[in-house]
Amino acid sequence: MDNLEIPKPNGSLMLAWQVKNRHVLVVGGGDVALSRVNHLLQANAKITIIAKEIHPIIRKYNELGLIYAIHERGFQITDLKMYESSNKLPELPNDLSLDTVLDDDLINQLEEYHQNQRFAMVLTCLNDYQLSLKIYHIAKLQNLNINLADKPSQCDFYFGSTYRKGPLQIMISSNGQSPRFCNRLKEVKLKPVFESLDIENAVSNLGYLRGKLRKDIHPGEDVSVIKERMEWNKTITDRFSIEDWCLFKKSDVDLILKTYPNFPNIGVLLKQRDDE
């Protein structure tokens, strides 16, 4: 293994964080807060904003019913637990083990707490660094994930420059060093390449193929079945060009699925299309 390539350290763990229908707290109501809100709206978060002054666009979002709650005032320590009820988080059995059967009531209580009472993340967008720092330390004591705008050392996560085309999302991050450059890279280099392609159709086609394969063509949850599906899906995705997937119709994907477990090329597919 002399040619083993070791992953380079000092990067970030790039994740697609799921905050759909989860509470997110934004402290601040200016331009930076607006940019955070725009990210959160794409992720279907339940957004609560606390600020003495509210950006006009955020106020319009609220009028349209896109914001969960707005409190036009200064931040209070109790805000970090504003949705937590008097009912404490249910305690797990003392003799908990992998053999323990958790009853439905306990599971429902746990899900209710994390879904509807606890903030999935806290974002501060303030000009007052000392206040932001206090919020940061208090949030960490409560095991909350937090981001301080323009303060990379006090961030559990960063907001990168993102490009979205339907279900496709691409994030570029400089790990807090130059967000502006990342945005220019997106606008000048990334966008021109992707705007010429129907990426949304390609992703939709491949999502359709994966779903039909799992549900109708080769169903099952055995390890061997899952492995066979994954291998075929990987090979068939690479067999056609990106441009092909952008141009295919669902009927073309159906023709590809009919060949499973074989791997047709574009010539075979075109012939099948003509025969149909």
pLDDT tens string 7-36: 889 888 888 899 999 999 999 999 999 999
Task: Give the DSSP H or E segment for 139.
Answer: helix 129-141
Q: Please tell me which residue, 258 or 275, carries the higher pLDDT value.
A: 258
User: Which architecture, in CATH terms, is 199-275?
Assistant: Orthogonal Bundle (1.10)
* pLDDT of 275 higher than 80: no
Q: What is the pLDDT of residues 158-186, one digit of tens each?
A: 888 889 888 889 999 888 788 889 999 99
* pLDDT of 276 higher than 80: no
Q: What is the pLDDT of residue 88?
A: 66
Q: What is the pLDDT of residue 106?
A: 84
Least confident of 47-56, 207-216, 262-271: 262-271
Q: What is the pLDDT of residues 123-154, one digit of tens each?
A: 999 999 999 999 999 999 999 999 999 888 88
CATH fold label, 16-83+102-159: Rossmann fold (3.40.50)
Q: What is the pLDDT of residue 103?
A: 84
Helices 266-275 & 250-258 angle (0-180, nearest 10): 110
* pLDDT of 274 higher than 90: no
Q: 143-151 long-range contacts, Cβ below 8 Å, gap at least 24?
A: 144/80, 144/118, 144/119, 145/120, 145/121, 146/121, 146/122, 147/121, 147/122, 147/123, 148/124, 149/28, 149/32, 149/36, 149/123, 149/124, 149/125, 150/32
Cα-Cα-Cα-Cα torsion 68, 70, 75, 80, nearest 10 degrees, comes to: -10
Q: Please tell me which residue, 129 or 103, carries the higher pLDDT value.
A: 129
- State the Cα–Cα distance between residues 3 and 18, nearest whole angstrom: 37
Q: Is the peptide bond before 261 cis (omega within 30 degrees of 0)?
A: yes
Neighbours of 61 (CB within 10 A): 20
Q: Are 72 and 17 in contact (CB under 8 A)?
A: no
| Euclidean distance between the first and the last CA atom of the chain, given in angstroms as a whole number | 50
Q: What is the pLDDT of residues 179-235, one digit of tens each?
A: 889 999 999 998 998 888 999 999 999 999 999 999 999 999 999 999 999 999 999
Q: Please tell me which residue, 27 or 267, carries the higher pLDDT value.
A: 27
- State the Cα–Cα distance between residues 208 and 212, nearest whole angstrom: 6
